[in-house]
Amino acid sequence: MNQEALLNPETLEPVWRIPAGRGRDLGIGIVGCGGIVEYPAGLQALFVVNHDNQHGTPYGGFRFYGTEGALEGTLGLVDDLPAGRPDTLSLHRSGSHVRSYDFDTRWIPDAFLGPMGDLMDAIATGRQPITSGRDNLGTLAVVEAAHRSAAERRSVRVDEITGGGASAAPSRA
């Protein structure tokens, strides 16, 4: 699955964990979520984040299932708030050994250094940034689909948000 495909899920079906006593207002008190993201050709991703676990260890992780294997990892930020620890990532391919990738950086703030540095350089040099505002509209469509899914307690197709046949992320062609 390439980056373009990753940004273009078809359907989201998240669930939100709001502790007892905090009500059902999705704008207040969300402390965890999980769910399934479906892609074309039957590919799926599973995710879970629980950063206010009073009865256990906070956890954040994901797993992408493809036709030849799976990619799984953890979100180190969630494991040790607010400091976090490095994320983990491993590739499980059919018929081969698991390949793990080690990181010595953290998602926050390290994941923002590249995109923000590129944005500042693009402004200074007058070029288009690698990640454009148009790309980010696709990300916002996915987020809106997730919120609608949680509010209406049903699966939501991203094209409900984008207005039909449009994909969540624009083509770079």
Domain ranges in the chain are: 3-162
Q: How far is CA 114 from the centre of its chain?
A: 18
User: pTM to 2 decimals?
Assistant: 0.70
pLDDT digits (tens, 9 = 90+) for 130-145: 887 877 888 888 889 8
73 falls in which pLDDT band (50, 70, 90)? Answer: very high
Residues 66-84, mean pLDDT to the nearest whole number: 82
Q: What percent of the chain has pLDDT over 90?
A: 17
For residue 9, give Cα distances in angstroms to 45, 145, 161, 170.
Answer: 9, 10, 12, 12
How high is the mean pLDDT of the chain? 79
CATH homologous superfamily for 3-162?
A: Dihydrodipicolinate Reductase; domain 2 (3.30.360.10)
| Helix (H), strand (E) at residue 65 | strand 59-65
Nearest to 60 by CA among 41, 73, 69: 73
Which pLDDT score, from 0 to 100, does residue 172 have?
A: 36
pLDDT category of residue 170 using cuts at 50, 70 and 90: very low
> Six-digit token pair at 17?
């964990």
How high is the pLDDT of residue 171? 38
DSSP H helices in the chain: 3-6, 76-79, 107-125, 133-152, 158-162
Q: Give the pLDDT of residue 127.
A: 95
- Separation of CA 89 from chain center: 14
Q: What is the pLDDT of residue 123?
A: 95
